[in-house]
Structure 1
Amino acid sequence: MDAYDYQTVAGRSVLVTGAGRGLGAAICESLAAEGAHIIVTDINESSAKAVAERINASTGHACAFQLDVGDEEQVRRVLDGSVTLFGRLDAIVNNAGIDVTLSIRELTTSDWERVMRTNLTGPFLLAKYGLAHLAPGGHIVNIASTAARRAWPNASVYHASKWGLMGLSHALHAELRSSGIKVSAIIAGGMRTPFLLDRFPDIDQGTLQDPLNVARAVKFVLTQPPETVIPEVMVLPMKETSWP
């Protein structure tokens, strides 16, 4: 792999999961605007293609894949296909996430397994199989949540998955540093994205932040010097209600 300028993402190939809308789309479009080559992946193929088309129409470089992050074979196939198209893989952003807002009494086993499969097994699979393609200097970025730091009612599986993601992220940071792979977790506060707005239409949007602000944090961790890694960073709206 050719060396690249750590101060920019230009020329780097970055795979983003859950990228068909919301924060994932914001990450793709903001990195593409800086010259990154983007692999847009989402369980909704048409959404992924729409984001890639917007990027390519703006003189960016993007491709799209349908991807269920909890499907081991799909993960391997998309990683291989991404490298075939762009010749390299420099970073993976594990952004795909879902939630089921129910009490523990109402939550079913299938609800639990579906959320954990997306929010925690997915990042595990992308990291496990992505390592075959990431050279020293490569980067894994995991999008976590304030739900990994505090808890509120009717979100037990979401909390469990995001606390687990933080554990996975820090464990991989410790394990992969010796091989030159960086691992970072972005703890994101509430954002004006469909993830919240579709489920809570009456939420006060003034307490939320633009997803582009979190996307900037992704770029920030990706552009640290080779001698530096940021294992964890928190990005909150000024009026965050789930954090003091």
Structure 2
Amino acid sequence: MSDVKVSSYVADPAEAQQLAGKIVLVTGGASGLGAALCHVLSSSGATVVVGDLNLDKAQTVASLLEEAGAKAHAIGFNVGDPVAAERAIEESVSRFGRLDVLINNAGTDVTLPIEELSFNDWDRVMRTNLYGPFLLSKYAARHMKDGGQIVNIASTAAKRAWPNASAYHASKWGLLGLSHALHAELRPRKIKVTAVLAGGMRTPFLLDRFPDIDINTLQDPVNVAKAVKGVLLLPEQTVIPEVMVLPMQESSWP
């Protein structure tokens, strides 16, 4: 299955400057929802730092954004590495002067029954899906002196469970808890924290693991990216701690 062609996304002219002046770091920004987020937010005027484990792919996305007239930068790093996570935040701030928005989107999964799930597999999922958002939020918050926004991309997997995905569920339920805890802790500092629970999307993350899935029941990741943009555009006096974004045809959620 090929990835959605998010590079063709063009904002309505009325939307072109809605996020002008905002510096946004998107982790896992080289493909799937991450790439969609980079294109949608960039098309709305944001300066986007594309963070990804694969630097070459991150640079490709950043180049596409720059070709469209936007400001962008690519950083290759492992979100679960404390040193690398701190350096990514510092590099973003050093290059653009500040950081307004952090989107913790990087994610991974190992689809195996628990008897076959190794410690290393479990550890990798936790480091990417849970430790990464903790580390990046910790380092980003210190730079958000005048307020900012942190968006944690969770999943409907943080509200329900299915077989052979114990590491993924544990990490996403943990991420949802972390997100709500940070909402309570950082709110007095004018830092908004939102968890976005995304339903099934037409991305390699899902399609490569479940090639027989009916793509008609999935949503375009651009639609989820637009929902995230909506969260970022809320008035200063309003915050949404949690939002769920589902495809209309998904039958596994009431």
Q: Secondary structure at the match of 1:178?
A: helix
Partner residue, 1:66: 76
TM-score, normalised on structure 2? 0.92
CA offsets, 1:185-210, max 9 Å, x none?
Answer: 10000000000111111111001000
Corresponding residue for residue 28 of structure 1: 38
The 3-state SS of whatever aligns with 1:107 is coil
1:141 and 2:159 equivalent?
no
The answer on 1:121 being equivalent to 2:131 is: yes
Residue identity (%) = 63
Instruction: Give 1:193-204 correspondences, 5 Å limit.
Output: 193-204=203-214
Unaligned runs of 5+ in 1: 1-6
Give the Cα–Cα distance (whole angstroms) in 1 for the partners of residues 19 and 45 of structure 2: 6
Moved more, 74-83 or 52-61: 74-83
Deviation (angstroms), 1:136: 2.9
User: What is the alpha-carbon distance in structure 1 between the residues aligned to residue 214 and residue 24 of structure 2?
Assistant: 33
Q: Which moved more, 1:104-113 or 1:159-168?
A: 104-113
- Match 1:37 to one of 32, 47, 71: 47
- The 1:8/1:137 distance shift into structure 2, 3 A limit, reads farther
Residues of 2 paired with 1:204 and 1:136: CA distance? 45
Q: Name the SS of the counterpart of 1:228 in structure 2.
A: coil
Name the count of aligned residue pairs. Answer: 238
Q: Distance in 2 between matches of 1:241 and 1:54?
A: 35
Aligned-pair Cα RMSD in Å: 1.0
Q: For 1:1-244, what aligned pairs fall within 5 Å after superposition? A: 8-244=18-254
Give the deviation of 1:241 after TM superposition: 3.6
Which contiguous aligned blocks of 4+ residues in structure 1 show a shift greater than 6 angstroms? none
Q: CA offsets per residue over residues 156-182 of structure 1, 9 Å max, x none?
A: 110000000000000000001111110
- Which stretch shows the higher mean deviation, 33-42 or 80-89? 80-89
Q: In structure 2, the residue corresponding to 1:65 is in which secondary structure?
A: strand
Q: How far 1:133 sits from its partner (Å)?
A: 1.3
Please tell me the residue identity of whatever aligns with 1:156. Answer: S
Distance in 1 of aligned mates of 2:142 and 2:228: 22
SS of the residue 1:139 aligns to? strand
Gaps of 5+ in 2: 1-16
